[in-house]
Amino acid sequence: MANRARQLHAIYLTGGSHDPDKWAHLVREYASHSSLREAALVYARDLPRRTHHQPLLPVLLKAAAAASRAEHGLGRSLHAEALKSAFAADLLVGTTLVSMYCKCGALADARRAFDETPDRNVVTHNALLAGYAGAGDMDSALALFGGMRSWTPVTWATLIRGFAEKGDMAEARRWFDATPPGMLTVVTWTVVVHGYVSAGDMEAAREVFDRMPARNAFVWSSMVTGYFKAGDAEAAQDMFDRIPSRNLVNWNTLIAGYAQIGCSEKALQAFRLMLEERIKPDEFTMASVLSACAQLGSLEQGKKVHEFINRKHIRKNHFVNNGLIDMYAKCGDLAYARDIFDSMRWKNTECWNTMISALASHGRSEEALQLFSMMECSEQKPNVITLLAVLGACTHGGFVDEGLRIFNKFEVYGVEAGVEHYGCLVDLLGRAGKLKEAYDIVKSMPEEPNEVIWGSLLGACNVHGDADMSRLVSDEIHRLHSARTSSNDAEYIMLSNIMAASERWEQAEQLRRKMAHHGIGKTPGCSSLELGIPECKVYAGSRQ
């Protein structure tokens, strides 16, 4: 623990220790526990008076790289120390400097460190290659690759990963096929499979996956995730069932997959099976399980999961805390959700979003806006989801001026307004009877408004009895619908509902007849009632 390092530091200072190995050990202790600044202070302030320890520089530089951009300045200071101590020419120090700058996103500095390192080896080249590939600069990556005297399996995998992460699977596949057989490892195969999965090409992913001579846990999970994203839960389950030795990552993938597609009962069933196999869950497992409980609206089940988290001492990071807030809010216990939120010492943007959305969806618009004001004063800044929730709160609470103020600050927040944000604003103005202002905003939208926005305005015209504006909006809806060469079922149904909701019965009937002529029907919805345990559902009727 970092506390132990601090205790040792105090002992060494008090006792006036002159043993360089003890101070070197202290530097490593601090660095290993991410206490990088303390490690650097010991190295710069205490250690040089006793001896220079060349092996410590790579330790500190690796810690700076792990801290990424946050410690870029400290990394530069360590580089200066290396130059001052004449260690910069050391191969290990030089290679670590290249890697550190790449991970901090400072590619120009990485290249400079690379050029200043004499007797560069393939590891030094691979470090810079990873930096170029990670940044998507594949021209520089190819130029470096072409100038290398030798390659390793890491070299080929890094180059292929660069193309795959950039979304250029054709080029990734070309280099994969060109890889010498002796350079193909399970990592290289996995990179290609994962690239196809990320691109949504499950057929190509399966073709490469089936050819793999050996498979690791990650590639199995990647395939399971890919099938879930493609909407094929059966194929995802079949793939999971084929895994010869399932680990925590595999189970987390299955549980998260079911939770993300709304199959909450199956997510909870998978969690129970995982426990039966004596796999210890972690915070990522519990975040998915809590999401499943929230979707079910089962407060009893959610409380049991919360008790399980406490009993098993599972770390309550922001994923778990956010899941608890969301679960309690969606299950109706908003007060407890707020208690959890208020007790958190550090809140990320997602936690703020969850609590603000919960308040807004429960009709607590004023509280949602107060919380948003607190967020504005915090170190976390609003994003697209935050502003959608806040505009929704303004709409339901009738806070027109506040809604306009927030909408006009989008540029300050660094957020580009989307069609959903415009929809909220139009709804807000429409409910307040400001129909002309709402119409002007719709006409000034950077992208073409859809039927939902026009329908919202049409409904407001009907509520406020503005016949002239109603005709104007109706004409816009018909123009939008007529301009499309083809319409899907959802568009017909939506337009029909818009007309019916606005008491345009004749137009609604015409659309219904057109739908019947084309064989378009509306799928009945259904409600569910939970009986006892999540798997027991009874479907209570249907609604047209």
Supply the mean pLDDT for the chain: 81
Span of 281-295, 301-315, 505-519 with lowest mean pLDDT: 505-519
- Report pLDDT digits (tens) over 32-56: 554 445 554 455 444 444 444 445 5
Report DSSP state, residue 539: E
The predicted structure's pLDDT at residue 543: 34
Q: Is the pLDDT of residue 426 over 60?
A: yes
Q: What is the mean pLDDT of residues 429-455?
A: 89
- Report pLDDT digits (tens) over 449-499: 877 888 888 888 888 888 888 888 888 877 776 765 445 455 455 555 555
- C-beta separation of 422 from 387 below 8 A: no
Helix residue spans in 398-466 (DSSP H): 400-407, 410-413, 419-431, 435-443, 451-463
- C-beta separation of 375 from 367 below 8 A: no
- C-beta separation of 50 from 20 below 8 A: yes
The predicted structure's pLDDT at residue 397: 92
- Give the pLDDT band (50/70/90) at residue 507: low
Interacting residues of 520 by C-beta distance below 8 A, sequence separation 6+:
489, 492, 493
- Report pLDDT digits (tens) over 316-366: 988 999 999 999 999 999 999 999 999 998 899 999 999 999 999 999 999
Residue, of 29 and 383, whose pLDDT is higher: 383
Q: What is the mean pLDDT of residues 256-272?
A: 96
How far, in Å, CA of 228 to CA of 218, rounded? 15
CA-CA-CA-CA torsion sign (107, 109, 112, 117): negative
* H/E stretch holding 537: strand 537-543
- C-beta separation of 415 from 399 below 8 A: no
Distances 75 to 40, 69, 87, 110, 135 between C-alpha atoms, Å? 10, 9, 15, 11, 19
Q: Is the pLDDT of residue 517 over 60?
A: no
Q: Is the pLDDT of residue 16 over 80?
A: no
Structure tokens, 398: 């009738």
